[in-house]
Amino acid sequence: MASTQEVFDHHVQCFVAREVSMIVEDFDDSSILISHGKTYSGLDGVRPFSTELFIEQPKDCAFELTECIVLAKNVYIVWNAESETVVYGYVTDTFGMEDGKITLQTVGFVKHEKA
């Protein structure tokens, strides 16, 4: 079974590569993702959330992970990203993991559209 660090490393590699199908592998049908007042449940929730994010943040966007804390079964990160159309100036995610899968993810961000 994959450790918390291994699951997180895989998740970040897939995120940077913008591989939605591989990101979804880090979750299962009982996973929950919460972001800005919405709850996404299971693989059917995670997939469209990730797809929508990657439309705004394609592979060639600038991405920087500025903070990462891995503690037992939890991960806390802060990052930012910028594409031609949008700037994610501050993003924070918290992950809860169990049995090699992300069981809970929260995402909060400040986003600006470019003029």
pLDDT tens digits along 5-55: 999 999 999 999 999 999 999 999 999 999 999 999 999 999 999 999 888
Contact 57, 81 (CB under 8 A): yes
Determine the Cα–Cα distance for residues 115 and 107; give it in Å rounded to an integer: 25
Return the CATH number of the domain spanning residue range 4-113. Answer: 3.10.450.50
Q: How confident is the model at residue 1 (pLDDT cuts 50, 70, 90)?
A: confident
Q: Give 48-84 pLDDT, tens digit per residue.
A: 999 998 888 878 889 999 999 999 999 999 999 999 9
pLDDT of 115 over the 90 cut? no
Are β-strands 27-35 and 74-82 bridged in parallel, bridged antiparallel, or unpaired? unpaired
CA angle 13–18–85, rounded 5-degree value: 125
Helix H or strand E encompassing 110: strand 101-113
